[in-house]
Copies of this chain bind each other. A is one copy, B any other.
């Protein structure tokens, strides 16, 4: 367990504070509210420092995404024996977490920012957001699904396809609707459970399907 995998922060604490302020401005007022002058004023730093640290405005936006991603720590799965009930519980927690993350202020603001910029610059921000922000979630889900297969609770050939199915069942079009400004969903807990039930019905082995309530 060396120190390197802790991602050496990549930025100094002062810079992190400035990036935090930048995220706050972005959440409060959208992209047009995130001006270099405004950030310098709000964070009590000079514009010259901003350009020295981050290069230009695009560098600042990239740094914001990297900083936000660095705050997320993945939950590791201990090699526990995966019973149907345990898998179902883990999947449900994952589904609820996923919906909660996607509905978060900062997540929505950063996704809106990257999507709004995804025409220019070879969609650099978009790639960054997918790679740095999504990897943790993907790995957690894939670990769960693989554990389910090893435990004989799930059955599938293509793990990626199973994962994408799970993702679609959980999120459906909620993410895009939230990005478009629709107020958040009620009953996200219920929705998460229904999604997991459907997933188990599709990919569960017989012993997993035993206690799934009828979909209708």
Nearest-CB residue, chain B, relative to A197: B202
Does A168 touch B at the CB level, under 8 Å?
yes
Instruction: State the A residues within 8 Å of B (CB).
Output: 29-33, 109, 111-112, 114-120, 122-123, 126-127, 129-130, 155-157, 161, 164-165, 167-173, 175-177, 179-182, 194-195, 198, 201-203, 215-216
Given contacts A165-B198, A201-B202, contact A129 B180 (CB under 8 A): yes
| Total copies of the chain | 2
Complex CA distance for A175 and B177, rounded to whole angstroms: 11
Which residues from B are CB-within-8-Å of A176?
A: 111, 175-176, 179
- Contact status B118-A179, CB under 8 Å: yes
Which residues from B are CB-within-8-Å of A215?
A: 156, 202-203
